[in-house]
Structure 1
Amino acid sequence: MVGPVKHLQLVVRRIDEPVPGVRRLWLADREDWRLPSFRIGAHIDLHLGRHLVRTYSLCNDPQDDRQYVVAVKKEEHSRGGSQYIHETLQAGDVIGVSVPRSGLELSSTLTNVFIAGGIGVTPFISAIRSLERDERENYILYWSSLGPPSLIDMLQPAFSAGRVQLYDTRREDPPHLGSILKQYEDNAKVFCCGPGGMLDAFENLVADWPDDRKHIERFVAPKFVPDANAHRYRVVLAKSGREKEVLPEVGLLATLESMDADIIVSCGGGICGACRTPWSEGPAIHHDRVLTPREREREVCVCVADCSGARLVLDI
């Protein structure tokens, strides 16, 4: 019996740089076969080198099943991913790419509002393109940019129709998030992605909002602080039967890595979902920002997880 596909081998068909410092990649099957479908706002992992796996948002319309498109800003303090993409990766290279996962849940009854800062627009482009294609003009995009808009060509229909409001913070003050949110009150579901300061402010402003009316996408995981009350437990790998004690000062992720467990880690902070793993005994303690309550009943993001029982059995 063949197991699930871990990742695809795709060729970098094309690379461009819509604005300085942002590289856009077109990834496709080498024989132009259709690619696995994806939901709006989905992510893929790029396997860029030995133990270098990074997660990026798909920017193309989900109906576009012959390619995956991602855009990557070169970060000054790169953890390796953006540096590799900007300095090493070339058109024609073949890389490992995960099957797309996750996605955005749009509201069918409320206005969908997207607030993005700079490259933070990437998680929302596929949603906006899909809404535009389906003539669902019930969204507004506020884009606070630290420079020229990098992917405006992918939003051209919405931009031409006046549904994109640009704020170039080189020339004007950024929009006041509180004022934007006050415009919609109970009539919107709001999505936000951008620099850490913007996200922290947004998170504070919507702290009392129902979960189904807000969505935050982070590029950088908040610093994970281990639980001071964590206790020892054993982690068991169900398929091999191997097990090992997890010490509070070591943590689950480092323990799994010492066991050479079959996991993929990208963000290391519970925001991307690359390391989501099935579990069958615990119960698991969840610290991620990815999984829904229902998903947590059977999966756990092991990079920030713990266990409240005597052992955590992972189905790997």
Structure 2
Amino acid sequence: MAVTTFATSRPSGGSGRSAATSLRVDRKVTVADDVVELTLTRPDGGRLPDWTPGAHVDLVLDDGLTRQYSLCGDRWDPRTYRVAVLREADSRGGSSFVHDRLREGDLVGLGGPRNNFALAPATEYHFVAGGIGITPLLPMIAQAAMLDVPWRLLYGGRSRSSMAFADRLVAEHGDRVTILPEDEHGRPDLPSWLPDPSHGAKVYSCGPTGLLTAVQRACAHWPAGRVRTERFVAAAEEPGTGGRRFEVELRRSGTTLTVGPDQSLLQVLGEAGVHVLSSCRQGLCGTCETPVLGGVPDHRDSILDEGDRAAGDCMFVCVSRARSERLVLDL
């Protein structure tokens, strides 16, 4: 299938993140049912790290609780970040903390920004969003409009009142935007909406797993690398792909470790005193990217595209394993 799948934001080399920074919640406002938008600034009013459309940041919310959110504001504003947070029904603590406990004036920690879902040049863009998946697409739309590149958006959600920024998008962009609440129109007919792949066109989609699966099916005939999706939930592991024992050589320290069938590589590294920064532990955020010097990784992340997987020169140690008997890592 000619689909490239990304998750929120690959780092630009290595497994690090930006230096720890505290951000202040300047504004917290409800923008849809169960969605709040946070406006974040540095307490000293200073400049924030630059970012590009599709980027996300890690927010350290409480007692080390870290969650990733797509930046959805104006990338040309050097002193303000904006994120929108959906209250998840099965929240692991992040969204409920933001909705119920975070107040204007509170401080949160910052990691990033990082970008796995970067907007590549194209002759035209077809954006497909589902629910809170609209957030990384907002700055992409602004970029396409600024560059005067043709684009269109299909935006679906449970109901009109649950679809953040929908009214603003229609007001600003008119018939380039198609709003399809499921309770009014049912699920979108993607094969009818998506055109045949013209030269240089690209599809960018973000939303729930069902939507991304439908986009992948509708675009199965598109050339490789022209369809890009971002997941907020890790892709399901295929049956029969459980772990097996393998060895890991840490080139810089000269240490060799064994990873058992029921252990993650990140866990084994930590138990050996080798600290690799990590956050989501689901192969989504990109924090734990580690260079591979030898061996064949078994990529189980939702970040790398087909070309990156084939290159085999990096891996995300929170979920990925080894196809070879031994891996050599630059650690």
TM-score, normalised relative to structure 1? 0.86
Aligned to 2:135, what secondary structure does the other structure show?
helix
Residue in 2 that maps onto 1:185:
197
| 2: CA distance, partners of 1:69 / 1:116 | 18
Contact 1:53 1:264 in 2 (8 A): no
Contact 2:56 2:70 in 1 (8 A): yes
Contact 1:223 1:269 in 2 (8 A): no
Aligned to 2:72, what secondary structure does the other structure show?
coil
Contact 1:128 1:155 in 2 (8 A): no
Residue in 2 that maps onto 1:152:
166
Contact 1:53 1:265 in 2 (8 A): no
- Is 1:306 the counterpart of 2:318 in the alignment? no
Aligned to 2:258, what secondary structure does the other structure show?
strand
Aligned pairs (5 A) from 1:132-171:
132-134=145-147, 136-147=148-159, 148=161, 149-152=163-166, 155=169, 158-159=172-173, 161-171=174-184
Contact 2:51 2:75 in 1 (8 A): yes
Distance 1:242 1:89, change over 3 A: farther
Q: After TM superposition, where is structure 1 displaced by more than 4 Å over at least 4 residues in a row?
A: 240-243, 294-298
Aligned-pair identity in percent equals 33
Q: Select the residue among 96, 101, 111 that pairs with 1:98.
A: 111
Aligned to 2:25, what secondary structure does the other structure show?
strand
Aligned to 2:110, what secondary structure does the other structure show?
strand
- Larger RCO (alpha carbons 8 Å, 6+ apart): 2
Residue in 1 that maps onto 2:35:
22
| 1: CA distance, partners of 2:107 / 2:214 | 40
Aligned to 1:155, what secondary structure does the other structure show?
helix
Q: How far 1:289 moved relative to its partner?
A: 2.7
Query: Cα RMSD (Å) of the superposition?
Result: 2.6
| 2: CA distance, partners of 1:266 / 1:154 | 33
Aligned to 1:171, what secondary structure does the other structure show?
helix
Q: How far 1:153 moved relative to its partner?
A: 6.0
Residue in 2 that maps onto 1:67:
80
- 1:144-193 per-residue CA deviation (whole Å, 9 max, x = no partner) reads 1212231236636643x321111122222222111112x34335311111
Contact 1:45 1:54 in 2 (8 A): yes
Deviation larger for 282-291 or 31-40: 282-291
Q: Which ranges in structure 2 are unaligned for 5 or more consecutive residues? A: 1-15
Contact 1:140 1:163 in 2 (8 A): yes
| 1: CA distance, partners of 2:50 / 2:294 | 31
Q: How far 1:53 moved relative to its partner?
A: 1.5
Q: Aligned AA for 2:246?
A: R
Give the number of aligned pairs. Answer: 308
| 2: CA distance, partners of 1:95 / 1:4 | 16
Q: Select the residue among 21, 26, 31 that pairs with 1:8.
A: 21
Aligned to 1:200, what secondary structure does the other structure show?
helix
Q: Aligned AA for 1:250?
A: Q
Q: Select the residue among 207, 214, 219 that pairs with 1:201.
A: 214
| 2: CA distance, partners of 1:91 / 1:235 | 47
| 2: CA distance, partners of 1:179 / 1:9 | 46
Q: Aligned AA for 1:234?
A: V
TM-score, normalised relative to structure 2? 0.83
- 1:130-156 per-residue CA deviation (whole Å, 9 max, x = no partner) reads 22233x141000111212231236636
